[in-house]
Amino acid sequence: MLENDLHHALDNQELFVEYQPQINLQTGYITSVEALVRWRHPEKGLISPGVFIPIAEESGLIIPIGQWILETACKQVKQWQRAGLPSIKVAVNLSLGQLFQHDLVRMIQDVLQRTELESQYLQLEITESMTINIDHMTTMLHLLKDLGVTIAVDDFGTGYSSLSYLKDFPIDCLKIDRSFIHRIQTDSTDKALVDMILSMAKHLRLKVVAEGIEEVEQLSYLIASHCETVQGYLFSKPLLPIFLQENYDSIQRNAQNILEKLNVVEG
Ligand code: C2E
Ligand code: MG
Ligand code: MG
């Protein structure tokens, strides 16, 4: 039933995108946002992407929906630039089906052209499950990198893939999954895994975003471990674009206040 309804969701303008800020821990600035799609179903209300993205994948609807999300996100970030906000990056999630879309690279190039967003402001998030077909991915990712976009591995450490893809793929950033962050203060294994990812990223010269920061204690630990960027409810939930635009300064000031209290940012 949902699949049936999803067929009309785009045309009926039931999909929309929220943006969650990613905060640089050295400056307290918003350096980027992650675009997260939502579906306002006419009868069932809000449906989470965790539910409908898999349906979109299975039905092939991910191709038009994925393109719409990408275009919406690029247009939005360009509009913020034009409105005078600091230039920030937008991270857009790709799903497996899109990776096998034959004209994905062309589609992304066209979207960048149409929206006039400079490619350095677009980051694509892939997941480890996409790294199974190493040859295909290596080719794809190099073509995408040639466009000037950057690549992040989402939910890093939760897949079953071999670490050797880090050697083959032109990756820029690892996103530490929130399941590791969740018990970072209490579980020594999670702590060890986070430390390991941070250290590996440093040696491989990759950027890191830690996801799902909800508590100051988690933040303190990540600061002490020299994590670069964080994303989580402690700083901000995913927000509607108009809200983010109107409250940009206060969101950033709030982030700086939190960091000042931890003696990271000078008051
Ligand atoms: P993800 O890409 O790992 O996105 C992060 C998820 O964590 C988002 O859930 C976000 O709202 C949530 N989150 C962020 N900070 C916190 C926090 O502090 N605490 C908790 N508990 N959660 C936090 P969301 O928006 O429900 O998305 C779930 C997943 O659905 C995403 O995981 C991604 O895999 C997929 N998804 C969302 N939007 C898109 C999209 O536009 N395209 C594709 N292909 N997948 C998407
Ligand atoms: Mg993501
Ligand atoms: Mg994630």
- Contact 50 CB / ligand 1 (< 6 Å): yes
Please give the chain's pLDDT, 267 residues, in tens: 899 999 999 999 999 999 999 999 999 999 999 999 999 999 999 999 999 999 999 999 999 999 999 999 999 999 999 999 999 999 999 998 898 888 999 999 999 999 999 999 999 999 988 877 888 889 999 999 999 999 999 999 888 777 888 888 999 999 999 999 998 988 999 999 999 999 999 999 999 999 999 999 999 999 999 999 999 999 999 999 999 999 999 999 999 999 999 977 776
CA pair distance 75, 87, nearest whole angstrom = 13
CA of 176 relative to ligand 3 center, distance in Å: 7
Ligand 2 centre to CA of 161 (Å) is 18
Dist. CA 169–CA 204, nearest whole Å: 12
Q: Could you give the domains of the chain?
A: 2-261 (3.20.20.450)
Q: Which ligand is nearest to the CA of 212?
A: 1
**Ligand 1 contact via 232 beta carbon (within 6 Å):** yes
Q: Whose CA is nearest to atom 22 of ligand 1?
A: 212
Ligand 1 atom at shortest distance from the alpha carbon of 18: 25
Residue 99 pLDDT = 87
Which tokens go with 181?
Answer: 């962050």
Q: What six digits make up the tokens of 28?
A: 């307290």
List beta partners, residue 21: 33
Answer yes or no: is the C-beta of 177 below 6 A from any ligand 1 atom.
Answer: no
CA 13/CA 35 separation, integer angstroms? 17
Sign of CA dihedral 88, 148, 107, 102: negative
The Cβ of residue 142 has, within 10 Å, a number of other Cβ atoms equal to 13
pLDDT of residue 255: 97
Distance 36 CA to ligand 1 centre (A): 6
C-beta neighbour count of 172 within 10 angstroms: 16
Instruction: Kindly state the helix (H) or strand (E) to which residue 170 belongs, with its residue range.
Output: none
Is there an atom of ligand 1 within 6 Å of 154 CB?
yes
Ligand 1 in contact with 49 (CB < 6 A)?
Answer: yes
Please report, as a single letter, which amino acid is at residue 88.
Answer: I
